[in-house]
Amino acid sequence: MIGMVEDNKTVRTSRKKRSKTILSLSSQEKAFLCAKIADNYKAQRLSVLSLEGLCNFTDYFVICSGQSTKQVQGIVDHIEEEMGKAGYRPIGIEGRKEGRWVLMDYEDVVVHVFHDPVRETYDLESLWSEAPNVWKTGERDGREDA
C-alpha cells in the first residue's frame, strides 16, 4: 500500500511498517542543504546564488569546486545520495562521467560542481553578478571561510 504524507513529514507504509523521512523545504533551504552536503564532502569555494526574480528556470544556483575529476564525481554522488534520503531526486544530471562540470537539476535549485580549472573558464558568479551570494559563514556550522 502506498503511504501518505502526514503532518510530521513522514511517509508510512502499512505493509512494511517502515518510515521514510521526507523533508518539506523551501527553495532556499533546499539550496543550503545541497551546499552543506557538498561542504561535508570537502567541496571548495561554495556559493549559493539567489536567482529569484532574475530568471524563470530556477531560484538558486549552488556552485562549488573539486580539486580533481574524481572529487567532483564524489561530491555529486554524495549530494545525490543525501538529497535522495531527504526525498529529493534530481530531474537530471549532466556531465557526471567526465567530472569536469556536473550540473544537477533539482528544479528550483541547480547545483554546479566544477573541476576547479573549468570553473575559472566559465565563471558563473561573474555571469550572474546581479544574483546575491546568500551562503554565509553561519550556514557552515560556524566554520570560517578559507
CATH code, domain with 128: 3.30.460.10
Is 50 exceeded by the pLDDT of residue 88?
A: yes
Residue 140 in any domain: the answer is no
C-alpha cell at 44: 571548495
State the Cα–Cα distance between residues 55 and 70, nearest whole angstrom. 31
How would residue 22 be classed by pLDDT, with cut points 50, 70 and 90? low
Q: Which is higher by pLDDT, 124 or 20?
A: 124
Which of 98, 31, 35, 93 shows the shortest CA–CA distance to 64? 35
Q: Parallel, antiparallel, or unpaired: how do β-strands 60-66 and 109-115 relate?
A: parallel
8 is a domain residue: no
pLDDT tens digits for range 41-60:
999 999 999 999 899 999 99
Residue 109 domain-assigned? yes
pLDDT of residue 141: 45
Could you tell me if residue 15 is inside a domain?
Answer: no
Question: Could you tell me the residue range of the domain that residue 101 belongs to?
Answer: 24-135
**Would 14 be classed as within a structural domain?**
no
Query: In sequence order, which ranges of the chain are alpha helices (DSSP H)?
Result: 27-40, 69-85, 116-122, 124-127
Question: Has residue 45 been placed in a domain?
Answer: yes
Structural domains of the chain, count: 1
Q: Edge to edge, what strands does the sheet with 19-21 contain?
A: 4-5, 10-12, 19-21
**How far apart are alpha carbons 103 and 47 in whole angstroms?**
14
